[in-house]
Amino acid sequence: MESEIFGQHISRKFNEELERLRSQVSNMGGLVEMQLTQAIEAIVSADSNLGLEVAKRDVEVNRFEVKIDEECGRILATRAPAAADLRLVVAVIKAITDLERIGDEAQRIGILAARLAGEAQQTQRHDELKTLAEHVLEMVHDALDAFSRLDAEDALRVVEEDKLVDEEYDMISRQCISMMMEDPHTIRRFMDISWVARALERIGDHAKNISEYVIYLVKGKDVRHIEIEELRERVEAKRP
């Protein structure tokens, strides 16, 4: 797929710059995946220290975003990229914004994990959270993999998965509300669990966004805010 989209430029240095840009996104994505994995582990295992550790490392993700953003700005200013090269730079700028926001949500989950671990152990909702979390983590991994390989078909599958994540989030929200109504003493705990679920749902949205950028990069068409049926048709159509 990659060779069909990007050709070789006269300037070897420009080729190296574009390849380095993609590599930096992969590195940032790997860091975000690790943060999210550990934030989920902190929730499931009620590990307060791990939750706080995840929260503190958000600064590393922020540094990645600034570094890559500056590199994109330099390439735009000095190379004046066109066609697929320009789409790549634009997609990178957008993708790192979503990755940074995933890092923010992982930080939020880490803080909530630390707070939940300090309360009396009531783990009725942890199984549901774990299922949602694993699903979201898979979406993030698959979105980054699709970005790395420039695979529009795999990116489409991630977009389609977002609906299931929304349904899982709605289920957990309803369960939390029901538990709080049954026992007002649990309100704070189930509010925190609800916020964890909300953070995971937002991470799923960001993974979906990254996947849409992949489709834009490969197909040359902005596919945001369109129905899934039309999106599927655009992905399946021959590349212009």
Q: CA 113 to CA 45: how far, in whole Å?
A: 9
Q: Tell me, what's the pLDDT at 68?
A: 97
Q: What is the pLDDT of residue 228?
A: 77
Residue 40: closest CA among 103, 107, 109, 102: 109
> Is there a domain that residue 3 lies in?
no
Domains held by the chain: number: 1
2 and 149 Cβ atoms separated by less than 8 Å = yes
Q: Which amino acid is at 209?
A: N
Distance (Å, whole) CA 202 – CA 30 = 18
| CB of 32 closer than 8 Å to CB of 140 | yes
Instruction: List average pLDDT for each run of 10 residues in the chain, which is 240 residues long.
Output: 52 86 95 95 91 93 96 94 91 97 96 83 65 95 95 94 95 93 90 95 97 92 78 71
Please give the pLDDT value at position 3: 43
**d(C-alpha 59, C-alpha 97), whole Å:** 14
Q: Measuring CA to CA, which residue among 217, 232, 240, 211 is closest to residue 2? A: 217
CATH assignment of the domain containing 229: 1.20.58.220
Whether 155 is in a domain gets the answer: yes
Helices and strands (H and E) in the chain: how many = 9, 0
pTM of the predicted protein model? 0.90
In a domain, 54, yes or no: yes
Print the domain residue range for 156: 8-236
Answer yes or no: is 24 within a domain.
yes
**In whole angstroms, what is the distance from residue 1 CA to residue 150 CA?**
6
* Structural domain contains residue 77: yes
Look at residue 2 and tell me if it is in a domain: no
Q: Alpha-carbon distance 42 to 36, whole Å?
A: 10
pLDDT at position 181: 93
Assess if residue 48 is contained within a domain: yes
